[in-house]
Chains A and B, each alone.
Chain A
Amino acid sequence: SSELTQDPAVSVALGQTVRITCQGDSLRSYYASWYQQKPGQAPVLVIYGKNNRPSGIPDRFSGSSSGNTASLTITGAQAEDEADYYCNSRDSSGNHPLFGGGTKLTVL
């Protein structure tokens, strides 16, 4: 079955750069999107497609992909970036969205 695998937790010093990764076979066929979720709030789309940011998302967020791995990079992490981040793609059928298990980002 299709799976997207993320590291459970990552930390970064304030102002530094952090990369959050997502691995899965479906990423060879489909781009990943990335969601940010803060406690008690709904997810917010921060990156989609090859490397696109919805309106209002700071340009310190960027995305990339290579083989079966997608990455979300935050360049110059801010305190407000502390959140859970989920990657999202499709399963092998292409019909079902698939989420990674999430990465808890701590900004030190």
Chain B
Amino acid sequence: EVQLVESGGGLVQPGGSLRLSCAASGFTFSSYEMNWVRQAPGKGLEWVSYISSSGSTIYYADSVKGRFTISRDNAKNSLYLQMNSLRAEDTAVYYCATDYYGSGYMDVWGKGTTVTVSS
């Protein structure tokens, strides 16, 4: 079964850091592009970051550029999001997602991990 499981969320103070992980199983992780998407409480979906299958191409939303770093370890079937200089507006559920079925869109999503930035 194709599965993505996020972890690493929690409560952090403004200005703090957190590292999210996304564990992939049931497919050849190293062959697939990956994304992070977030959703603030009661709000819509916001794409955060993209990484190519090899890790050579990376994109960020303007809202997180310079503060967040996406990476992957294909040997460990894992995706990461290092989040620094966190702000209250970064409070959200963070999902990892991939285009597994070749739709050209994010067609497999994890259940998400919650990040709360508050003092």
Contact = CB atoms under 8 A, between A and B. Distances in A.
A98 B61 CA distance: 10
Given A96-B59, A97-B35, A45 B47 contact: no
Interface residues of B, number: 20
Contacts of A44: 109
Given A97-B35, A101-B44, A42 B105 contact: no
Given A42-B110, A95-B59, A54 B103 contact: yes
B103 A33 contact: yes
Centre residue among A55, A95, A99, A101 by max chain B CB count within 10 A: A99
Contacts of A96: 47, 50, 59, 61
A54 B107 contact: yes
Specify which of A49, A96, A100 lies most central, judged by the most chain B CB atoms within 10 Å of its CB.
Answer: A96
Contacts of A33: 103-105
Interface in A10-49: 33, 35, 37, 41-45, 48-49
Interface residues of A, number: 24
Contacts of B73: none
B61 to A, nearest CB: 7
B45 A86 contact: yes
A106 interface: no
Given A95-B59, A96-B59, A96-B61, A43 B45 contact: yes
A88 B103 CA distance: 13
Interface of A: 33, 35, 37, 41-45, 48-49, 52, 54-55, 84, 86, 88, 95-102
30 contacts: A33-B103, A33-B105, A37-B45, A42-B111, A42-B112, A43-B45, A43-B95, A44-B109, A45-B103, A45-B107, A48-B103, A48-B105, A48-B107, A49-B105, A52-B103, A54-B101, A55-B101, A84-B44, A86-B45, A88-B45, A88-B105, A96-B47, A96-B50, A96-B61, A97-B47, A97-B106, A99-B37, A99-B45, A100-B44, A102-B45
